[in-house]
């Protein structure tokens, strides 16, 4: 199938705004530069990428060094201010990429349906479920649709973006409950083979956790997944949490707002719970998956660990690592060649693997019926020996079926 052809007309104000969208920190206050890399020690900006990406790579990481306000009232005000700036940028993005946004609800959850101006041939009966990033605390309302709008506008595919509940009022598992409710609703009108799920950062982690939970509750898995730079381990475990600290000029380091977000969302829960940190889940039998990261991404190891574990379990998983990129910089400037490449690759991936068809009757929740999932515990590449361990005992609904260390 051919992809949707889009004309890009740069908007100067949009590009300036988009360059700060990675964390929704349009109104963040500067803090001292990260101690891990001083400006003089930072590696040079690579000449192997576009000028637009070079400009993003050259940004001072001190701009993003911050902590989240501790008081709920101040946190809500901060989130609202950042959301307003991002929502304004989304409206500018619409003018450039020609997509429509329709607010609504599915299963009582607020959603935005993003429809491209020109639907890609053969994609009329396909739908992409989008789970936004923002550390489980940022991007409520229209601001959650920035990435979804780029996907619809650059691929010609319909997207449903979930405006899930977030802290401080709604910690875990509210976000996952909302995501799963919307997925169940989509299954009433689309076969699972026609549904793709994607998101970046927190949204990437939620993409993986959604598939784990759907399987544990007896639901059919989506036709394909694209967890981009997923926050797959909420604890600072993995090589790039150290090697890219300060080198990543978006997230910068775990020991700032990321650690705050974990406390707000997880509320003291075990961080090896696969619905919180899906890298500890069992990926056996997962659908085709495309993972994306960058060489300077703080979450590079989060992405690589998932990819290796999937490959060891026989999952058809591919990995794209962008040259020189920090966290989610592939969607910070819609005029950047690397942004167009990123979304066009995602579009090709979903068109290759998603298939329309008839909608089967939704099967009953096996967990509710039996209290068991039949899912077997996952193993790491080092542990894999061709056999999975024995079945996991029954668990309460909403609890993961496997919690095995990586």
Give 177-226 pLDDT, tens digit per residue: 999 999 999 999 999 999 999 999 999 999 999 999 999 999 999 999 99
Q: What is the pTM of this model?
A: 0.84
Going by pLDDT thresholds of 50, 70 and 90, the confidence category of residue 71 is confident
d(CA 267, CA 250): 25
| Residue 182 tokens, joined | 């919307």
In whole angstroms, what is the distance from residue 119 CA to residue 358 CA?
A: 20
Going by C-alpha positions, the residue among 222, 240, 259, 237 that lies closest to residue 354 is 222
Q: Using pLDDT thresholds of 50, 70 and 90, give the confidence band for residue 60.
A: confident
Does some domain include residue 373?
no
State the CB neighbour count (10 A cutoff) for residue 355.
13
Half-sphere exposure in the Cβ direction for 96 (13 Å, CA)? 22
Dist. CA 55–CA 72, nearest whole Å: 35
Query: Span 301-319, mean pLDDT?
Result: 98
Q: Is the pLDDT of residue 364 over 70?
A: no
Mean pLDDT value of segment 384-401 = 35
Assigned domain for 313 exists:
yes
The pLDDT value given to residue 41:
76
Mean pLDDT of 375-385: 36
Residue 19 binned pLDDT confidence (cut-offs 50, 70, 90): very low
**Confidence (pLDDT) at 42:** 81
In this structure, the strands spanning 127-131 and 195-200 are parallel
Strand partners, 321: 293
Taking alpha carbons only, the member of 75, 280, 259 closest to residue 166 is 75
3-state helix, strand, coil in the chain (%, to 5): 35, 10, 50
Residue 88 within any structural domain of the chain: yes
Supply 382's token pair. 């080092």
Cα 7 to the chain's mean position, in Å? 26
CA distance 248 to 228: 16
Sheet holding 195-200, edge to edge: 99-106, 109-116, 159-162, 127-131, 195-200, 224-228, 289-294, 317-322
Please name the helix (run of DSSP H) or strand (run of DSSP E) that holds residue 91, with its range, or none.
Answer: helix 72-97
**17 part of a folded domain:** no
The two beta strands, 127-131 and 159-162, are parallel
Burial label for 2, CB within 10 Å (0-12, 13-18, 19+), is exposed
Q: What is the domain extent for residue 276?
A: 53-360
Mean pLDDT across the stretch 81-93? Answer: 95
72 has pLDDT over 80: yes
Mean pLDDT in residue range 84-113? 97
Residue-by-residue DSSP string for 273-286: -TTTSGGGS--TTP
Give Cα separations from 335 to 46, 158, 340 (angstroms).
Answer: 19, 21, 7
Q: What is the pLDDT of residues 343-360, one digit of tens each?
A: 999 999 999 999 998 887
Residue 352 in any domain: the answer is yes
- Most confident among 60-69, 78-87, 160-169 (mean pLDDT): 160-169
Tell me whether residue 372 is in a domain: no
Q: Does residue 226 lie in a domain region?
A: yes
First to last CA, the chain: 39
The closest alpha carbon to 172, from 281, 276, 76, belongs to: 276
CA distances from 386 to 382, 392, 393 (A): 11, 18, 21
The whole-number pLDDT of residue 358 equals: 82
pLDDT-derived band at 40 (thresholds 50, 70, 90) equals: low
Position 38 confidence tier, pLDDT thresholds 50, 70, 90: low
Flag whether 383 is in a domain: no
Note the pLDDT of residue 63. 55
CATH at 166: 3.40.50.1820
Residue that wins the pLDDT comparison between 399 and 309: 309
List, for residues 100-113, the tens digit of each pLDDT value.
999 999 999 999 99
Integer-rounded Cα radius of gyration of the chain: 20
Number of domains in the chain: 1
Residue 147 near residue 132 (C-beta atoms within 8 A): yes
């Amino acid at each position: 199938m051919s992809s949707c052809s889009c004309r890009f007309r740069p908007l100067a104000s949009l590009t300036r705004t988009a360059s700060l969208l990675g964390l929704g920190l349009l109104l963040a206050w500067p803090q001292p530069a990260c101690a891990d890399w001083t400006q003089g020690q930072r590696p040079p900006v690579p000449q192997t990428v576009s000028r637009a990406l070079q400009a993003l790579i050259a940004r001072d990481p001190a701009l993003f060094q911050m902590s989240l306000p501790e008081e709920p009232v101040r946190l809500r005000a901060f989130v609202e201010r950042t959301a307003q700036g991002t929502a304004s940028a989304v409206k500018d993005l619409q003018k450039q990429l020609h997509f429509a946004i329709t607010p609504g609800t599915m299963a009582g959850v607020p959603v935005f349906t993003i429809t491209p101006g020109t639907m890609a041939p053969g994609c009329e009966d396909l739908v992409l479920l989008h789970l936004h990033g923002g550390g489980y605390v940022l991007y409520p309302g229209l601001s959650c649709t920035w990435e979804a709008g780029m996907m619809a506008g650059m691929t010609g595919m319909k997207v449903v973006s979930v405006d899930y509940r977030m802290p401080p009022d709604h910690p875990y598992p509210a976000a996952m409950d909302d995501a799963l409710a919307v997925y169940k609703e989509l299954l009433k009108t689309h076969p699972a083979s026609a549904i793709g799920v994607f998101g970046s950062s927190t949204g990437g982690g939620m993409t993986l956790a959604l598939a784990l939970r759907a399987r544990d509750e007896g639901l059919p898995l989506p036709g394909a997944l694209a967890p981009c730079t997923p926050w797959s381990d909420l604890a600072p475990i993995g090589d790039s949490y150290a090697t890219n600290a300060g080198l990543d000029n978006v997230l910068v380091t775990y020991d700032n707002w990321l650690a705050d977000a974990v406390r707000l969302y997880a509320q003291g829960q075990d961080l090896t719970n696969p619905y919180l940190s899906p890298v500890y889940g069992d990926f056996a039998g997962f659908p085709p998956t495309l993972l994306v990261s960058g060489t300077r991404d703080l979450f590079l190891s989060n992405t690589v660990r998932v990819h290796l574990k999937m490959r060891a379990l026989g999952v058809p998983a591919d990995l794209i690592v962008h040259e020189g990129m920090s966290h989610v910089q592939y969607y910070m400037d819609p005029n950047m060649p690397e942004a167009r490449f990123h979304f066009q690759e995602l579009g090709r991936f979903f068109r290759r693997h998603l298939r329309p068809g008839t909608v089967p009757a939704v099967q009953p929740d096996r967990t509710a019926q039996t209290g068991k999932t039949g899912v077997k515990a996952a193993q790491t590449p080092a542990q894999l020996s061709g056999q999975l361990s024995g079945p996991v005992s029954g668990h309460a609904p909403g609890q993961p079926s496997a919690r095995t260390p990586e």
